Structure 1
């Protein structure tokens, strides 16, 4: 296995990437700055400003994620057929509209419309960018320049750099009002659209001219990949608890002001630790052990909160949740992206990444609604919701042990 130079300054590594992968990595930075201006504060806005119940808040967040993740397959197929650039530009325009609707919505129907528009937008641009990143990563790996897992790790680091900037800006803007925050996020995506119009390379899709039927048959005929997508869906479900369970826990202790700083803590962890952890996962653990250990740590995050919540009214359970959940996902995310492409046989990557995200969207829609309902009926200091949350990644860890290849061997593509 080749090894990349041990440059610990991630920015230097990103700068030295070839032009297209560098653009894709920095795209994630820009996307997350705009996205995290709003999303960490949406649950509080819905509950405090609009007076919605926790179950309704969970439904809104779940529908937002499902409209995003559930349509990733469509976005991925469109990217495979028409290319990355038109799909990304369309997604950016729709997200501008979604944030403006959220900024001015004063009732549940408007909130649902805005939330779903922001989700549909990401359903277009995210699989396009991820599939392009996987292809560029394969080229870098085959030429001996960089393992693909490290390119996915850089992608995660750039995203978290945006995720730490977005909430901090959001905290400042929220003092003026949620409407101003939503407008600011829309302005950010207008700038992103303009930059991608100027610099994102144009080109035909990898499967231009091919009908969608063979793509769908190829994807849904790959049983091992489908099992992996189902098991990995717990990753997105767990991550989305930072937007539902975490804000509700902070409300329990009157610690709403800590939300932005906890998101900043998660982002700083990823920026500082993602690259060495990705290298350790690739070089020492391998795909199976890295994914299983990551999901066990995520399950441990919720288990620890279940133990601590009845014992304390401090911020300790929230901090523990963020630290352990982030640590587990630093193991899971780069390896999951690489395994997805390999189980896909390096073909129809937009469609395959779309299925992975759609599975996560279904898990979030069902799980977040159930979690919100459980938190509505459970006493404020009950460990029950947290124990239920812990069971989901624990089951996935067991499934991934059976599904995931022990080495990063490229799977042959099933015949269409």
Structure 2
């Protein structure tokens, strides 16, 4: 079978867009929709399930979800390292087996509730292992000019699954959780079986015996790592606290509409803008992305329904630029394998999201005590303007022998 990214008998694919895709890549993009579809039929409702169905206290639920989120994001660095050791396809298979076992555990937790916490952590471990290998497999053998289109297509599929999953599962989470967990487990079994039939990527061999092992963060692209952590830190101010703010000023249904708008923008805009984002120099891309975040967070402070929609849209457009450009720049600057690089970027995302929960929670709590939560969004917007200045200062000092460009691309 030809290397992933090439067509049998036709030579290398053209240097633009996605077309045509071979069978393995079509299946991988379909999986990038089905996996979050199944996951988000369950995971967004875990706080309700753990509290109301299994009787856990809200304090305990909060700790469990915080640990699970940190594992799911930051564990990606271990997923990238595992892919370096055993290969991309085997890592994806291991990850899906672990995640499927987690959903089986959630089903069994209906009879024995203490299993629920371990099962949830297991599903998050599977997610952490899977995503770096998935992204690396998706762009393996693909010319650099086409990589943004492939990554954007994968992100669009992921966000589509995240948007549709809760809509399907919402009516059944509390009324029929057993059947829901059975359906999700069956979906993961089918997807896992499909991954077992994927070809190994060309050159996918384990390291030679006795080869020195590199540390998880060796060769990290410092500036894209820091920029990714900062982008997720600021984005999760929106992700963590918009529900409290929006439901108080509108309704839970309107909050769902805001989220649907954000998902739709990622699905539609990022693939269309991927080529432009690739060509954009890195410095201006950071300015555009963080300016979008700042504008969106400031608009949220108005507090009206149109402001909630407009703020969510601006934040999403800023993140479309930041998340994709940071990944592309990390791939350009780091000498490590693609899977390790994606794992390092996931670690940055986890650190940023965790810091947002801790520091952002204190700021939002202060706003509640003073009776003006609108100030929280203005403070968050100010951080979007001030903190990136530190990154631009870091950019001037970021040249390091271990981070020399490994691929030719548009100079920043």
CA distance in 1, matches of 2:259, 2:112: 27
Partner of 1:10: none
Structure 1 segment 9-408 matched on structure 2, within 5 A: 14=18, 16-43=20-47, 45=49, 52-53=57-58, 59-102=63-106, 104=109, 112-137=117-142, 140-141=143-144, 146-174=145-173, 176=175, 181-199=180-198, 201=200, 205=204, 208-209=207-208, 213-216=212-215, 219-222=217-220, 225-241=221-237, 243-253=239-249, 255-283=251-279, 285-305=280-300, 307-309=301-303, 312=304, 315-345=305-335, 347-376=336-365, 378-379=367-368, 381-391=372-382, 393-402=384-393
CA distance in 1, matches of 2:100, 2:362: 31
CA distance in 1, matches of 2:358, 2:406: 38
Deviation at 1:14, TM superposition (A): 4.6
CA distance in 2, matches of 1:317, 1:361: 28
Deviation at 1:100, TM superposition (A): 4.4
* TM-score, scaled to structure 1: 0.78
Deviation at 1:122, TM superposition (A): 1.2
RCO higher in 1 or 2 (8 Å CA, sep ≥ 6)? Answer: 1
Report the aligned-residue RMSD.
Answer: 3.7
* TM-score, scaled to structure 2: 0.78
CA distance in 2, matches of 1:400, 1:220: 20
Conservation of the 8 A alpha-carbon contact between 1:62 and 1:366: no
Deviation at 1:76, TM superposition (A): 0.7
CA distance in 2, matches of 1:349, 1:61: 29
Deviation at 1:396, TM superposition (A): 5.0
- Kindly tell me: are residues 184 and 123 of structure 1, through their superposed partners in 2, closer, same or farther at Cα, counting changes over 3 Å? same
Conservation of the 8 A alpha-carbon contact between 1:296 and 1:397: no
CA distance in 1, matches of 2:28, 2:257: 27
Conservation of the 8 A alpha-carbon contact between 1:72 and 1:358: yes
CA distance in 1, matches of 2:138, 2:295: 31
- Kindly tell me: are residues 52 and 303 of structure 1, through their superposed partners in 2, closer, same or farther at Cα, counting changes over 3 Å? farther
Conservation of the 8 A alpha-carbon contact between 2:246 and 2:255: yes
Structure 2 runs not aligned, ≥5 long: 1-13, 408-412
Q: Report the count of equivalent residues.
A: 386
Partner of 2:405: 411
CA distance in 2, matches of 1:292, 1:15: 32
Structure 1 runs not aligned, ≥5 long: 6-12
CA distance in 2, matches of 1:198, 1:264: 34
Extract structure 1 runs of 4+ deviating beyond 6 A: 105-109
Conservation of the 8 A alpha-carbon contact between 2:299 and 2:308: no
Deviation at 1:183, TM superposition (A): 4.5
CA distance in 1, matches of 2:379, 2:285: 23
CA distance in 1, matches of 2:112, 2:293: 35
